[in-house]
Amino acid sequence: MASKQTGKLIITSCLSVVAYVALYLLLRPSLPAHLARHSGPDGVGYSPLWLTVLIIGAVATLSLLIGILVYRDFTSLGHWNPGPKSIVVCFLAAGFGILGLGMAMITTVLGREAEDLGTLPIGMGLIGLLIVFALSAGLLARLLPRAIPEALNTRDHQSDQR
């Protein structure tokens, strides 16, 4: 069962990364050369759009990969308890959320110059991250196999309190 679920996670993750790259490649002619990457007391910092897209894609892919590997390890070792499941859900949801951040930033600057928008792409990216993270965390918590409850040994617990 775990290997079938791992395969689904791999396929879903790969399709998500491919969709992110395809969105960028499809919209690239209508995108500005630069994108706001941060805002601070010194003003707005810009960087090349392709570099921002690459870094976001790499970080999301790394998070998804860690989530898949940790899932595989926890389930194969029989450690599929609520704590390990939460770790897997968080890594996978973070990966999907980061892809949501990138997609929101790309669609925000579509057909406009980055300097005209200021920090709007950053804000929209963070909203995209939040929405996609929350939705995917809820979905993953539901779709991944149920965690095995951990039994508390009451004798050990009572002796620790003395």
**CB-hemisphere CA count at 13 Å for 105?**
34
Q: What is the mean pLDDT of the chain?
A: 89
CA proximity to 46, closest of 57, 28, 34, 33: 34
Rounded to whole angstroms, the Cα distance separating 72 from 88 reads 10
pLDDT at position 52 is: 94
What residue spans of 28-77 are helical by DSSP H?
49-77
Q: Does the global pTM surpass 0.85?
A: yes
**Neighbour-count burial for 107-120, b at 16+ CB within 10 Å, e otherwise:** bbbeeeebeebeee
Q: Is the pLDDT of residue 161 over 70?
A: no
Q: What is the pLDDT of residues 13-67, one digit of tens each?
A: 999 999 999 999 999 999 999 988 888 888 888 899 999 999 999 999 999 999 9
> In the chain, count of helices (H) and strands (E)?
6, 2
Rounded to whole angstroms, the Cα distance separating 47 from 51 reads 7
First-to-last C-alpha distance (Å) of the chain = 43
Centre a 10 Å sphere on the Cβ of residue 159 and count the other Cβ atoms it contains: 9
Q: Is the pLDDT of residue 1 over 70?
A: no
